[in-house]
Amino acid sequence: MSLSQVQQSQLSDTQIITASCPSRPGTVDIVTRYIYQQGFYINEIHSFDDTDKQRFFIRIEFRPDQDNQFDRDSFIDGFSSKAAGFDMEWTLSKKSYKSKVVIMVSKHDHCLNDLLYRYRTGDLDIEIPAIISNHPDLQELAEWHGIPYYHFPISKETKPQQEAKVWQVVEQCEADLVVLARYMQVLSNEMCKKLSGWAINIHHSLLPGFKGAKPYYQAYDKGVKLVGATAHYVSDDLDEGPIITQGVETVDHSYYPQDLAAKGRDIECQTLSRAVRWHIEHRVFLHGEKSVVFAK
C-alpha cells in the first residue's frame, strides 16, 4: 500500500468523540489517556470549561495508525465505564459519515442555491435526500440536482396536515439535520419540539428592530450601518433558539434598499453554510439557551 493510500485509509477511519460533564479535575485526561492507551493518534482537540455553569465540554478527532484498526464496539465498551465515573454525556461518530440533510425552502432561492453548490462540489460532504417547500417555484432546481422535491402548500387551516406530511418525509429520509433555508413559515410548537437540537434556521440580523415586510427598506430609512445574518437552532420562541453563528458586514449611506438586501443575501448564504458545516462536524454543543461552538 502506497503512502497516499495509507493516509487516505487513516483519514477515512478518523473518529470524532464529543463529551460534556460537570466540571472537575481529570476530565481532559480521562478522554485523551484512553485514546492514547488504545493506540490512536489525536488530530484535533478543543475543550472549554464554563466556570459560571460548572460544565465542561470537549471535542477530539482521532485516528488509528497503519498498524492499528478501529473497533467501534470495543472502544465504546471500554470508554463507557470511564465516562460514567465523570457523569459524561458523550457521542462517537465517524468523520467520513455523510449526514442526511433535508432542506426546507419557500420562494427565495439564494440559500438553497448556495447549499446545493457546496453539496455538488463536495465542499459540504452531505447527502440531501429531499427538498420540501410550500411553493412549487424551485422544483426545477431540485430536479436538476436529482433531488426529490416535495411541494406541500400550506394555509392557516391546513397547517397541522401540512406539517404531518413534512414530518413523514423527514422520518422516511432518516434525516440527521433539517435546514430551513429561508422557509418563510412559522413552525408549530409541536414541530419545534420534534426538531429541537437538529433543525437550523437562518434570518437577517435586523431583527427585532425591523420586523415584518421589507426590513431592508425600514433599515435604509433609519440609516443602518451594519447588515448581517443569524443561524440558530429552531425553538418554540420564534427566532430565539440557541445561536450557532452570525455574520455581519458594514454598510454606509451609499447602500440603497436593494443593495442592503443583496449584501444580506450573501451573508445569509455564508452564515447558513457555516452553521451546517459546524453541526455536521459535531462542533456544536447545546448549552441551555445558548451553544458552545468549537469552530475550526
Question: What distance in Å separates the CA atoms of residue 36 and residue 187, rounded to the nearest whole number?
Answer: 45
Residue 209, C-beta contacts closer than 8 angstroms, at least 6 positions apart: 219, 222
Question: What distance in Å separates the CA atoms of residue 243 and residue 224, rounded to the nearest whole number?
Answer: 22
DSSP letter string, 105-128? E-S--HHHHHHHHHHHHTSS-EEE
Q: Please, are residues 217 and 261 in contact by the beta-carbon 8 Å criterion?
A: no
Residues that are catalytic: 239
Enter the C-alpha cell of residue 18.
Answer: 464529543
Angle, helices 27-37 vs 72-84, to 10°: value is 150
Residue 232, C-beta contacts closer than 8 angstroms, at least 6 positions apart: 200, 201, 239, 240, 241, 242, 243, 244, 275
For the chain, how many residues are written? 296
DSSP secondary structure code for residue 151 in this structure: E
Residue 120's nearest CA partner among 102, 142, 104 is 142
Cis peptide leading into residue 208 (ω within 30°)? yes
